[in-house]
Amino acid sequence: KNEVEQSPQNLTAQEGEFITINCSYSVGISALHWLQQHPGGGIVSLFMLSSGKKKHGRLIATINIQEKHSSLHITASHPRDSAVYICAVLRGSGNTPLVFGKGTRLSVIA
Amino acid sequence: NAGVMQNPRHLVRRRGQEARLRCSPMKGHSHVYWYRQLPEEGLKFMVYLQKENIIDESGMPKERFSAEFPKEGPSILRIQQVVRGDSAAYFCASTGTGSSYEQYFGPGTRLTVT
């Protein structure tokens, strides 16, 4: 079993829909990243969070440390949101390598 | 205000050749991580370096792969005698030494072995 599990693996939505991507992890962490990767493109960090909730534009990330679960929400989805969204955790404290989920491939159709 | 730089962005090598991938961290950052993304697979950690030191190379194949981060210049990931299975996207990320351990990613190098 992977240390970081994401669901769903693939998601297709109509433009304007509210989208939720889930991430569960089985190890102790100090922080969690949500990353975005467009096809053939680089990786952009959307959020790093260790508790509570963060919001940036139409994106919202939440984390529940006790339940070892995080969600990424996209409100009013748009075709340009189509990308792979990756959950990654920082195990332990300090500078440590990230452990990644396999990603959720999102397609938003106009 | 340059971010993490990687070059080349695309690299084609024939089987048996050497590949050298370069990563320049963000200004002020002294920690570099290399990750590999195989086709249709998730990202996997390879090696973590600080200036002149390899801190953790537990994710790096024992043979043909090496990494360095000299006092001056970029970090280099070197793959000797490349094979088709080395075809992948290689990303580096950097962090600073402050209290935030957020990793900033470079654009990646896409290696194709023919």
**Side-chain half-sphere CA neighbours of B21 within 13 A:** 32
49-78 in A: which are within 8 Å (CB) of B?
A: none
Evaluate whether A74 touches A62 at the Cβ level (below 8 Å). Answer: no
- Quick check: B98 pLDDT over 70? no
Sign of CA dihedral B18, B75, B10, B102: positive
Alpha helices (H) along chain A: none
Instruction: List the single residue in A35, A86, A90 with the smallest CB-CB distance to B101.
Output: A90
Taking CB atoms and an 8 Å limit, are A96 and B95 in contact across chains? no
**B104 at interface of A, judged by CB pairs closer than 8 A:** yes
Mean pLDDT of chain B: 93
Q: What b/e readout covers A30-57, taking b as 16+ CB neighbours within 10 angstroms? A: ebbbbbbbeeeebbebbbbbeeeeeeee
d(CA A60, CA A71): 8
- Quick check: B1 pLDDT over 60? no
pLDDT for residue A93: 74
Per-residue pLDDT of chain A (110 residues; tens, 9 = 90+): 689 999 999 999 999 999 999 999 998 898 999 999 998 788 999 999 999 999 999 999 999 999 999 999 999 999 999 999 999 999 877 788 999 999 999 999 99
Taking CB atoms and an 8 Å limit, are B105 and A98 in contact across chains? no
**A27 at interface of B, judged by CB pairs closer than 8 A:** no
Taking CB atoms and an 8 Å limit, are A97 and B45 in contact across chains? yes
Taking CB atoms and an 8 Å limit, are B104 and A31 in contact across chains? no
Mean pLDDT of B10-28: 96
**B108 at interface of A, judged by CB pairs closer than 8 A:** yes
DSSP state of A80: G
